[in-house]
Structure formats: C-alpha cells, structure tokens
Amino acid sequence: MKLSTTILLTFLISISGNTLYAQSVGIQKLLDNPEKMYSKAFVYSMASTSIRKWQIKKGFATKADYVLPKKVGILTFIVQDRSSSSSYSAGGWTHKTTAKATKDGTSMVANEIYFNVINGLKESFSYKGMNLLEPSEYLDTNAKQDLYNNFELKDPKILKMFSGVTGSGNSGPVIGYRAMPMLSFGSGVKAMKVRDDFFNQLELDALLIVEITMSITGNALYSINSSIVYKNPASGTKTVYGDFSEGVSVKISSNLYAKKPEYSDIFMTEEVEYLNKKGKTKTRNEAVGLDPNLYKLINAVVGANVGAFEKFVLGKK
C-alpha cells in the first residue's frame, strides 16, 4: 500500500459500515506482554545519579530539594517523517521511486496522534502529583509567546547526515507547537547557557519532549522517544552543572533498514472502488485512520518515562 498526499490530507474522514484492515502486529505483541514491554522493549536513558550525589555531598542541594516538579510543560510534540522507497528492474535498468509526506500532511498526522494521547499523558503526570501543561497553558504572556515562537534553533549536522542515508522526509509538529527536538538547541557550554536561559524564561520546573519517527508513505513506525528535562535544584549556587542538566528518556525503536519494519501497518486501511484510466472499476486500500494501539503504545512510553523520572528525582532504585 502506498499513501498519496491526497490520502494523507483526508485520512481523518470517518467512514462507517465498512471493514477496516491491517493493524500493526508488532505493536499488538508489545501490548499483549506488558511485562516484557516495560523490562526489555523500552530503552531507559537515566540522568547521571552522580550529579545528584555530588551536589548533595558538596552542599549545593539537599535531598529535600529534589522534589517532583509541579509544572511540566510540553516543549514539543513532533512526528519526524522518513521517506520510503520502492524499486523495480526492467530492460537492464533499475527504477527507484522515493516518496515522502508533505509537512502539512505530517503535522496532520501529528495532530491526530496528539489529540488521542494528550489526556493519557496528562493522567500519567497527575497521578504522580505533577501538572502537565500545553503551550496554550504555559505561554500565558505575550513575552513568553514571542520567546517560544522566535527562539533561534540550530540545524544539527547529524540530522542532515542521517536523513541523507535513510532518505529525507519532512517533520511536522502539532499545530501550535514548534519543532524543537533537543538536538536543535546545539551543544557546548555557550549553547547550553542559551538553552537554559530560554527554559528559565518559560518559568517551568521541567519540560517534556515527545518525538515520533515514522514513515507515513511507508506505513511504518520506527521509534517513540519521550524525554523529561528537569530543572537542577542546585541552580543559582556554585555548582558546575547547568540549570537543566538532568533528564530522563525512554525510547522504543525498530530497525530503520528492515525491508518490513517490526512496527508496520500503523495506518488502518479500507478497501474502496475506483475507476482506472480505462474506465474499469478496480479496488484498492486507502488509509482512513491510525491503529488505535499506536496511541496506547505512546501513552505507555511516556508513562514509563514518568515512572523512571520519579525514581531518579526521589533517589529510588
């Protein structure tokens, strides 16, 4: 199945009374075995506990200073699209076709995912006593709105190199968000200082970044990455660490180069009739929505991130 740009822009239309096809077998297997999913499928990247221990030992912070944040803002929620390709050989020539979604199409997919997971994301945080805020909630002054919308981001070379290998696609954030993956803030002491100043002006205790990598035209999911960046309780002291030097990430990923990705068939399809160029009635599958299990998996990844984050902040094993 190949999804056209037209289909991408209209796949949210609900068509009732017809049979929907194809759900991701890979995602279903994960959801059927939560214990394996949480213990093996998710890759946890914890902030270094040595930072916490050192700051407490040196008196820059106390154990009581390490508390779960009250205000966590969603910095970005983005779908990063990877192009898909197909090829065939004829007459001694190999013909290769590369397809990618439009930026508008990618943002539309991001929106559909977002509005089906946001309540679950907020519940994961509120269950632990944290308030997850959307940009419309924490950008509560004109100054903050201007800061968020006009902050200068870098174009990471590593992303250019990566897309050059895999085939570049388009990335689309949820409408109202900017595409702000952590790599776009750059690296080095100066870049981190600029980033920290930006985060501080947003007046948040922590930030959530959700990045979903998929091939929209290839009908596949490659990774879900959730990261929580925590304001250093020792900021303002003589600690050597920055204001937002600690974070916890949880990621689930699939082989980007596999001929049939582990998490394929993430779009629900429907068989429809159409007239070909000769006027004959044919049938084909068209995308009409996303596999609801994708929403469950995203909520599970972010939920695991919240759990790991709580352990880090409170010093739990």
DSSP for 134-147?
-HHHH--SHHHHHH
Residues 177, 209: contact at Cβ < 8 Å? no
How many Å apart are CA 243 and CA 192, to the nearest integer? 9
Alpha helices in 127-266 (DSSP H): 135-138, 142-150, 157-166, 189-201
Residues 63, 233: contact at Cβ < 8 Å? no
pLDDT at 315: 87
pLDDT at 276: 80
Spell out the per-residue pLDDT of the chain, length 317, in tens.
334 434 444 443 333 344 555 688 999 999 999 998 999 999 998 777 788 889 999 999 999 999 999 999 999 999 988 766 555 555 555 555 566 677 888 889 999 999 999 999 999 999 999 999 999 999 999 999 999 999 988 765 444 434 433 445 677 889 889 888 888 888 888 888 999 999 999 999 999 999 999 888 888 899 999 999 999 999 989 999 989 988 899 999 887 777 778 898 888 878 777 788 888 887 877 777 899 999 999 999 999 999 999 999 998 87
The DSSP 8-state label assigned to residue 47 in this structure reads: P
> 220-230 and 131-133 as β-strands: parallel, antiparallel, unpaired?
unpaired
Cα separation values, 190 from 75, 146, 178, 247, 301, Å: 21, 22, 22, 19, 32
3-class state of residue 59 by DSSP: coil
pLDDT at 82: 78
How many Å apart are CA 161 and CA 152, to the nearest integer? 21
Predicted TM-score (pTM) of the model is 0.85
pLDDT at 81: 85
pLDDT at 307: 94
pLDDT at 72: 97
Residue 90, H or E segment: strand 84-90
